[in-house]
Amino acid sequence: MGVDPPSLLCVSCIRQLEYIKGNVCRKCGRSFSLFPEKYRHGDICSDCVKWERKGTSITKNRSLIIYNEFAKKLIAKYKYRGDVALIKAFEDELRHLVRKEFPNAVFVPIPLSEQRHYERGFNQAEEIARMVGKEIVTCLTRPLHEEKQSKKGRAERMQNQTVFVFDSTFTNQIQEKDVTLVDDIYTTGSTLEAAGKILLDHGARTVSSFTLARG
C-alpha cells in the first residue's frame, strides 16, 4: 500500500485484515482473487458486466480492504456503536488511496435518512470523507427511510431503488467537476449507482467512488 499498517489496531486484528491488491476489476475494484476465472470478463467482473448492460453512472470504484468476516465486525462496531477510533486506524492508508486514485475530485458522502442519522448520531460515510481531508459537498439527501442494506439479500440489493434528492444550491460546486462518492462498503454497487446518476443528471463531469471495504 505504500504506508505502514494501522497502528490503532492490535497485531491480531491487523492479521485478519485482507487488503485489496494485485489484479482487480477495472471498474469496481473488486479483487479477482475472490472469485473463479469464469466470473471474469476480461478486466471486469460479472457484476460490472450487468451494470454496463443496464447503464452505469460510476466510472470506477476503489476500496482498501476486502469485506471479510472480520471487516464486517469491525465496520459494524464503527457504524452501530459509534467507535470512530476504528476508522481512524485507516486514515493514513485511505489518504494514500485517495491521493493515488482521486487527486482532484470533489467528494460527496452518501447520505443517511434523517431517522437513520438520528439513530446513529453521525453519518459514517461523511466521517470517512472528512478524514481524508478533501473538499466535501453534502448535496444529496435521502428522504426515505429504508431497511438496512445488511438485512437484504444480494438480489434485493441489486434491485435497490434508493432515492436521493439533489440540493440545487450546490449545483455550482459539482457542475463540470469530477465527483467521487464516499461510502463505507461497496457490495453490489446499487446505492452508489443511484447516487451517481443523480449527480450526472445535475452536471457532474464524471462520478467515481471509494469505500473502506469491498464485498
**210 within some domain:** yes
Instruction: Report yes or no on 6 lying in a domain.
Output: no
**3: in domain:** no
Could you tell me if residue 101 is inside a domain? yes
Q: Is residue 19 part of a domain?
A: yes
Domain total in the chain: 1
* pLDDT 10s digits, 8-27: 788 888 899 999 988 899 99
User: In the predicted model, what is the mean pLDDT of residues 111-133?
Assistant: 90
Q: Is residue 2 part of a domain?
A: no
- Mean pLDDT, rounded, for 103-125: 91
pLDDT at 95 (0 to 100): 95
Residue whose C-alpha cell reads 462520478 in the numeric block: 207
* Among 72-86, 105-119, 120-134, 140-154, the least confident range: 140-154
CB-count exposure of residue 48 (10 Å: 0-12, 13-18, 19+): buried
Domain that includes residue 82, residue range = 11-214
State the helix-helix crossing angle for 91-101 and 124-131, rounded to 10 degrees: 70
Q: What percent of the chain has pLDDT over 90?
A: 60
Average of per-residue pLDDT across 97-121: 92
Under a CB-based contact definition with an 8 Å cutoff, are residues 190 and 160 in contact? yes
Q: State the pLDDT at residue 82.
A: 73
Q: What angle do CA 131, 9, 94 make, to 5 degrees?
A: 30
Domain-embedded: residue 23:
yes
Task: Tell whether 174 is covered by a domain.
Answer: yes
**What CATH number has the domain bearing residue 49?**
3.40.50
Least confident span in 32-46, 90-104, 167-181, 195-209:
32-46
Residue-level pLDDT at 152: 47
Residue 81: per-residue pLDDT: 78
168 close to 142: Cβ distance less than 8 angstroms: no
Q: Average of pLDDT values for 52-60?
A: 93
pLDDT in tens, 159-206: 556 789 999 999 999 999 999 999 999 999 999 999 999 999 999 999
